[in-house]
Each structure stands twice: as structure tokens, then as C-alpha cells.
A and B are shown apart, each in its own frame.
Chain A
Amino acid sequence: MSEVAQGGATPVREGLFREDPPALLGARCENCGALRFPALAVCARCQHEGASEVALPDQGRVFTYTIVHAPPPGYAGEVPYALGVVELGDGLRVAATLLAEDLAAVRISAPCRLELFDLAGEDGAALRTYGFRIGEE
């Protein structure tokens, strides 16, 4: 967590996403083309070592979700909050926070779009992370 992101917030982990335009950063295997998120040099399909960084699609649909009502250990945000699995258009699903003004809008198959947002981290330093905001059908 060395690099300070825009607005003074620190990314929760280096290499998860880029800021402008916002995108999750995956790895595409240079041998078989398989994607993975977060990026890792070794391919999980063919075990080839060598992958290029790729910006994942910023839109998808909710495959499944839950609303968490009790704060888990070490969580820096507020409850309740939504988590889900988002199906992206390129053969990959990713686990993500789901964002909505009203959490009742979170539904399976709902369209959603990537959004970076901040949580209050330890000693007041904002922690930047990623989510998908539920949109209109």
C-alpha cells in the first residue's frame, strides 16, 4: 500500500484496479488466453508462466449476492452491505461489493457497472476498493 491513489485514498491492494478510466486489472495468459483476477503470472488453466495485464469489462450482471448484516472481523465499512458474484461479458465471474442506494435493488441478473469507492480505513486513512453499482434494466 505504498502508492497513494487520487483523492488521498490508498488502494486496498496494489494491482487490483486502475483509476482512470476505472477498470479491474486481470491477467490474460499469453499461451491459452485464459483470464484471471487478480492478476498472477502463472495461468490457472495451462500453468504457462507469462501473462499480460488486461482491463476487465466494466459492466456485468449479478450471478448471486447476499446482504451482510453483521460486521465481519476487520471490516472497515458499515453494515448492512451487499456482496456478490458478477458475471462479466468475457467468460469470467468476479467476487465484488455491490453498491445501491437501496439494497433492496440488488437482485440476481441485475445489470451493474464497476465503481471505485472508499472505506474509512485505520487511523482515518481512506481505503479505496472496487464494487459494482446496480443499474436500471
Chain B
Amino acid sequence: MAMEPTVVSGVGMHPFGRFGDKSPIEMGVEALREALADAGIAWGEVDALFCAHMYAGTGAGHKIATAIGRTGIPIVNVENACSSGGAAVSVARQAIASGEHGVVAAVGIEKMPRGFMKMDYFEPWREPIGHAVNPVQFAYAIQRHMYEYGTTERQLALVAEKNHRHSVHNPRAMYQKEISAEEVLASRMVVDPLRLLMLCTPDEGAAAAILRAGDARPGDVSVVGQGMATAMRSQAIGEHMPTDSTIEPDVPVSRRAAQKAYEQAGLGPDDLDVIELQDTDAGTEIIATEELGLCAPGEGGPLVESGATTIGGRIPVNPSGGLLSKGEPVGASALGQVFEVVTQLRGRAGARQVEGARTGLTHALGAGGNCSVIVLQRS
């Protein structure tokens, strides 16, 4: 379905990391205030607020409004696991496209417990038998990929090495130091073949975007396409964490979401200059580069090995350092990707700038088997 582009008039981001007793609401307020200042508008000009989160409890967005000012606007909290921010952007965009609102804010916040995520997504009986572990799905996916295409552990380590190299220039990342492929390969095994340094860390943070109706002026960055999709029963592996699946042809969820986003934007993967994608783990990055159409199926390993996805390469992936460096505060992570791509497209990314970037994409995958892909472009 065609939809008018929506201008992203401001972005803000509270750093991702660990912040002691600081609440996710406080972080959200900071990210939102930065986005408002960036857009050059007052809070009183915002017509609606969409708040993405998974752990922040009842009325998280409403608590942000309590802190920043109760202007009486509609507030909707959005939960779509690791893809919550993508869902918030989707509803924010539709609220503008429908004509109901002229200026809306999307904010994503999170403060997560440490270690393996204990997820109430799983039916309780799967927990005692050790089946309630979401990184297992990432391990399944890349294990199968290695079997089918010969993808190597070294290629997985190179994803982590690359993203950590990028993170050195991102003051808002949780980890900002280089980590070599050798260090990655020496870290402890968690879910075979994924080692500790191939998996992102749950953490804390917030990010926000202001969207507005109306034409884009030169230099403005707009959302020109978005696709959301969910995994089907024929997808054997994924964050729908299936107990069963059917053996029949399947188009995985990321590929379908990307197709919708490209169609809506009227462009394709060859038009992209910069990408922030769901590197929950190194394997998911390799597979996502294929499913987003950056390379052919099976070529994701050679793609990272070639240096194409490094800043300065053919199609830089995760110039922010990705989730491997920033950590993954699930409600905030997808809006964190929007923050990075908008920053890149405006040419304000400093030492991690992708030169001349005009068109970019964000990709988030979450529990429930849901995916959001957003295409952004500078006018």
C-alpha cells in the first residue's frame, strides 16, 4: 500500500549501557527532550505519544508524560518485543498518514535484567525442560546456515570484530573498544556455535523520534517505506520459538518485511548506503544481510569477510557498532537504529560517518517472530 513519506524532524538517544538506579522513564524523558530540541519544537506541539517497551510496566508512556508535562494528548504503549520501536514508528506514521495528527513522538525505553532473558512468551512447561531459551533460535539458524552454505566460525567472529571496530566512534554505545576475531573465538561457548562475544548483551537505554506531516524540505530525512511481518508456520526457526513447523516452502519473515518496505519506498537494496540491522548475534547479521537482499543466499559470510559491510565498504552495516556493541535494550533498540540512520543521513555521525549516505534502512526482529524494516531517505 502506498503511503505518503513522513518527515523525521528530530531524533534523540539516551546512551545504551548500565545506569544504576536510573529508571527507564528518566532515560525516556532525556531521549524525548533531545528529539524535541533536535526538531526545534516544544512538547506542547506534540499531538500524540507512542511508547515502545517490554519491561517498563503499566503506563510507561503515561509516566513519561507525567515527568515532561501532562498536555492531555493520547498516549499508546506498544509492546512488540525487540521490534517494539519499529511497531511504534509504524503506528506513529499511520497516525500522521490518516490525517489524525500532525506531529507525533515515538519513544523506546528499557531497563533489562542481566543474563539469559526470562521470557513470559514461552509456555510454562517449556522452562523446566530447558526449551525456553531464545538465543537457541539464533544458534539453530546459523548452525543450519553453516551446514547449507559452509559459513564459518571465523566469519561469525568477523561480524563481532567489525561491529566493535565501528563502536569505537560511538560515544552512546555500551562497549566502545575494539575486539579482535581471535578474542571472539576464544570467548566461552554459550549456544553452539555462538560464543559469548558473538551475542549481544541485554542492557538499558532509550531513543526517540519526532515525526511530522507535510513535505520534506531539502536536507530533511523521511521514512519513505516500512514493512512489518510475522513468521509463518513453515518457518522452522525463529523468534516465534515454534514447538512445531510444517515442511513446505517458506519465505522468512525478514525477507517479507523488507520486500514490503522496498515496494513502499519504490527502491531496492542496491539503492541503500547504510544499514542498521538486528545483530542480536553474529549469525543473525550474516543471515539478515542475505534476507535484506544485500547479497545472495549463502553469501553473507563471504560478504563480511570481503569488508563490504565495514564503514568505507560497499554497503556499511551497523556503523553504530550494532547491538553487539550497544547492547540491546529491547524496547529502545529499534528506535536506536532509527537514531543512527537519521544521524548518518544528515552527515552528523562524526568519525563513524558513512560518506555521502542518502538512503538507509533499519531492521529489527523480535519475539513472536515479528520483524520491522524501515527505509529512510534524505531529500
Give chain A's interface residues, CB within 8 Å of chain B.
Answer: 12-13, 16, 26, 34-38, 44-45, 63-77, 81, 83-85, 87, 91-95, 97, 108-109, 119, 121, 127, 129
Considering the complex, give the chain B residue whose CB is closest to the CB of A68. B191
Query: With A64-B236, A69-B189, A85-B140 in contact, is A121–B243 under 8 Å at CB?
Result: no
Q: Are B116 and A72 in contact (CB under 8 A)?
A: yes
**Known: A65-B140, A65-B143. Is A12-B244 also a contact (CB below 8 A)?**
no
Q: Which residues of B contact A64 (CB under 8 A)?
A: 140-141, 143-144, 147, 236-237
- Which one of B132, B143, B147 contacts A66 once the chains associate, using CB atoms below 8 Å? B143
How far does the Cβ of B132 sit from chain A's closest Cβ, in whole Å? 6
Could you list which residues of chain B lie within 8 angstroms of chain A, going by C-beta atoms? 115-116, 118, 123, 125, 127-133, 136, 139-141, 143-144, 147, 188-194, 233, 236-237, 241-248
- What is the CB-to-nearest-CB distance from A24 to chain B, in angstroms, rounded to a whole number? 9
Closest CB in chain A relative to B149 CB, distance in Å: 12
A63, B236: Cβ atoms closer than 8 Å = yes
Nearest Cβ in chain A — how far from B239, in angstroms?
Answer: 13
Q: Other than the known A68-B191, A76-B129, A97-B129, what 5 A-B pairs have Cβ atoms closer than 8 Å?
A: A16-B125, A65-B140, A69-B190, A73-B118, A83-B131
CA distance A26 to B243 in the complex (A): 11
* Interchain CB contact under 8 A, A73 and B143: no
Instruction: Give the 6 A-B CB pairs with smallest separation, nearest first.
Output: A66-B139, A74-B127, A13-B125, A67-B192, A64-B144, A75-B130
Picked from B130, B236, B237, the residue with its CB within 8 Å of the CB of A81 is B130
Tally inter-chain residue pairs, CB-CB below 8 A.
120
B44 CB to nearest chain A CB (Å) = 44
State how many angstroms separate the Cβ of B214 from the closest Cβ of chain A: 43
Residues B128 and A34 in contact, CB atoms below 8 Å apart: no
Q: Could you list some 9 contacts between A and B, CB below 8 A?
A: A64-B140, A66-B143, A66-B192, A67-B191, A72-B133, A73-B116, A75-B130, A92-B245, A119-B128
B246 touching A91 by the CB < 8 A rule?
Answer: yes
Smallest beta-carbon distance A69→chain B, Å: 5
B128 touching A127 by the CB < 8 A rule?
Answer: yes
- In the assembled complex, which residues on chain A have CB atoms less than 8 Å from the CB atom of B118? 73-74
Contacting pair B247 A93 (CB below 8 A): yes
CA distance in complex: A13, B123 (Å):
10
Among A16, A72, A87, A91, point to the contact of B130 (Cβ < 8 A).
A72
Interface centre among B115, B128, B242 (most CB of A within 10 A): B128
Do A97 and B236 touch across chains, with their CB atoms under 8 A apart? no
Residues of B within 8 A of A93 (CB): 236, 244-247
A66 close to B130 (CB less than 8 A): no
**Known pairs A67-B192, A70-B116, A74-B132; A108 contacts B245 (CB<8 A):** no
Q: Are B127 and A73 in contact (CB under 8 A)?
A: yes
* Of listed A35, A74, A81, residue having the most chain B CB within 10 A: A74
Contacts of B147 in A (CB 8 A): 64, 108-109
- Which residue of chain A is the closest to B145 with respect to CB atoms? A64
Q: Assess A97 versus B144: contact at CB under 8 Å? Given A34-B246, A44-B233.
A: no
CB distance from B288 to the nearest CB of A (A): 17
Closest to A89 in B: B247
Write out the residue numbers on chain A whose beta carbons fall within 8 Å of the beta carbon of B139: 66
- A72 and B132 within 8 A (CB): yes
Residues of A within 8 A of B140 (CB): 64-66, 84-85
Who on chain A is nearest to B122 by CB?
Answer: A74
Q: Which of chain A's residues have a CB closer than 8 A to the CB of B237?
A: 64, 85
Contact call A12/B243, Cβ cutoff below 8 A: no
By a CB distance below 8 angstroms, the chain B residues around A67 are: 189, 191-192
